[in-house]
């Protein structure tokens, strides 16, 4: 996670057919998050 000390990271695999909603769900699971905060995916200048 950006700006967090100590550094926290996870490695996981998703299918090439997964969409951003699938990625969001996977991130919630692997990070132990409870889906209680707003989120946004940014790729370059696109959102």
Task: Tell me the per-residue pLDDT of 14-23, one tens digit each, with 9 for 90 and over.
Answer: 999 999 999 9
Mean pLDDT of 25-37: 90
What per-residue confidence (pLDDT) applies to 31? 87
What pTM did the predictor assign? 0.66
What per-residue confidence (pLDDT) applies to 15? 96
What per-residue confidence (pLDDT) applies to 46? 63
What are the C-alpha distances in Å from 6 to residues 1, 2, 9, 27, 44? 9, 10, 10, 19, 27
């Amino acid at each position: 996670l950006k700006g967090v000390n100590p550094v926290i990271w996870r490695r996981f695999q998703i299918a090439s057919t997964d969409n951003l909603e699938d990625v969001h769900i996977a991130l919630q699971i692997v990070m132990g998050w409870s889906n209680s905060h707003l989120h946004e995916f940014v790729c370059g200048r696109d959102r």
